Amino acid sequence: MTGAPARKPGLRDVFAQPGYRRLWAARTVSQWGDVVNTVALALLIYRLTGSGLGVSGVVAAEIAPVLLLAPFAGPLIDRWPRVRVMVASDLFRFVLAAGLAVWHDAPAGVYAIAFGMSIGAVFFNPAASSVLPTLVPKEDLVAANSGIWTAAVLSQIALAPLAGLLVTGVGYGPAFAINAASYALSALLLRGLRVPSPPEHLERRRLLADAREGVRVLLRHRLLRALAAGQLLAALSAGATSALLVVLAEDHLGVTGSGYGLLIGAIGIGAALGPLALLRLIRQPRRPLFVFGPFALRGVVDLVLASVTALPVAVAALVAYGVGTSTGAVTFNSMLQAETPEQVRGRVFASMDVLWQGGRLVSLAAGGLLADQYGIQVVYYLGGLLLLAAAAAGFSTVQPVHPR
């Protein structure tokens, strides 16, 4: 009817779609296992190696497959049925997680399995992101991504402490077995997923030629180029500031133990509230303001954290940081899904993964050196400036995007 207000999509709309419900359930169950696995893996490798460097080795083992394989995974995801890619990835990780539940006494074996499980994620994550736009209308993408993001955040808040208790109480094997079971259940749920709009046939060329086509799409599309720049600058910032929050807490804020836990909890609270506020308060969440604005919010928070020493102020700032992280992730992914051509989604999402993990790896290395040489405040000042640069790059590159 003429003059009627535009529909404001919400969680009820997307959960009314059977395909979305199935994808959401599979990703949520898998996230439960991932939380348990992350906690157990960090505790295990620290027990086996007795060093922080050993724990960092797990992070490196998880990042390396993205940098090595994503350029090849993207074209394959665009060639193959994406649901089958997700199922195969889950089954591959199920076998590895089941093996880790039985054999977890040698650091080399743990690193190898962490590397292998990341290979599965290299294929699963871009395929899942590529499938979502075929399950819900374009105007519902923000609500759809909000549902998945909120479930992941709440899973981490609720299950991370329980995972620590599980490892302490019954050992590492049962924790890894839970992760294996989550992959099996996810694969079972995804087997029944029907994608209404399969990707168009992709001409069989060399993988590198197909990968280059995905990069060309990123570089030539004005909005996608802005999103890629924001992704890289944010990774260069967040890789160090996230990992070194414990250093900020001790050296700058003067808190340890429960104080550090309070800071982590503040981020979690903000991250959980962000998508709910986005759906309830904002009518056009895919506007550039809500895609690139969260970069600026997080940048300001980093500058505040580097400047203040009062714990209450830092806690309040980190709640805002969590809101910026979650709303930014939801709107960023939604715009990327909406604007990327169907036939190159796998390659574009794989390229974004390379930018994120590569920037994160550089940031981790540089951040540690800067913190040791010049102090943790310099790391947070620089991180804040990088995030403000990401926001500025986005706002200066794109024109207002009007809802379709």
Considering the domain architecture, whether residues 39 and 64 belong to the same structural domain is answered as yes
Domain-embedded: residue 7:
no
Considering the domain architecture, whether residues 224 and 186 belong to the same structural domain is answered as no
| DSSP assigned state of 194 | -
Considering the domain architecture, whether residues 211 and 186 belong to the same structural domain is answered as no
- pLDDT higher than 50, residue 401: no
Considering the domain architecture, whether residues 54 and 129 belong to the same structural domain is answered as yes
What tens digit of pLDDT does each residue of 318-367 get?
A: 999 999 999 999 999 999 999 999 989 999 999 999 999 999 999 988 98
Considering the domain architecture, whether residues 380 and 323 belong to the same structural domain is answered as yes
What tens digit of pLDDT does each residue of 138-165 get?
A: 999 999 999 999 999 999 888 988 998 9
CA 17 to chain centre: 24
Domain-embedded: residue 268:
yes
Domain-embedded: residue 1:
no
Considering the domain architecture, whether residues 161 and 48 belong to the same structural domain is answered as yes
What tens digit of pLDDT does each residue of 200-226 get?
A: 555 556 777 888 888 898 889 999 999
Tell me the whole-structure pTM to 2 decimals.
0.91
Which of 162, 191, 220 is the C-terminal boundary of a domain?
Answer: 191
Number of domains the chain is built from: 2
Under 8 Å between Cβ of 283 and 6? yes
Considering the domain architecture, whether residues 151 and 208 belong to the same structural domain is answered as no
Report in angstroms the alpha-carbon separations of 317 from 18, 157, 281, 321, 404. 38, 19, 21, 6, 35
**What is the spatial distance between Cα 189 and Cα 24, in angstroms, rounded to a whole number?**
10
Considering the domain architecture, whether residues 177 and 51 belong to the same structural domain is answered as yes
Say which CATH number the domain at 215 has: 1.20.1250.20
Tokens 């550089």 sit at which residue? Answer: 362
Considering the domain architecture, whether residues 235 and 354 belong to the same structural domain is answered as yes
Considering the domain architecture, whether residues 325 and 270 belong to the same structural domain is answered as yes
What tens digit of pLDDT does each residue of 236-272 get?
A: 999 999 988 988 998 999 988 778 888 988 999 999 9
Domain-embedded: residue 4:
no
Q: Percent of the chain at pLDDT above 70?
A: 93
382: containing domain? 203-404
Which of 191, 226, 241 is the C-terminal boundary of a domain?
Answer: 191
Considering the domain architecture, whether residues 267 and 346 belong to the same structural domain is answered as yes
Considering the domain architecture, whether residues 331 and 267 belong to the same structural domain is answered as yes
Which of 132, 161, 191 is the C-terminal boundary of a domain?
Answer: 191
Domain-embedded: residue 211:
yes
Domain-embedded: residue 2:
no
Domain-embedded: residue 153:
yes
- pLDDT higher than 60, residue 402: no
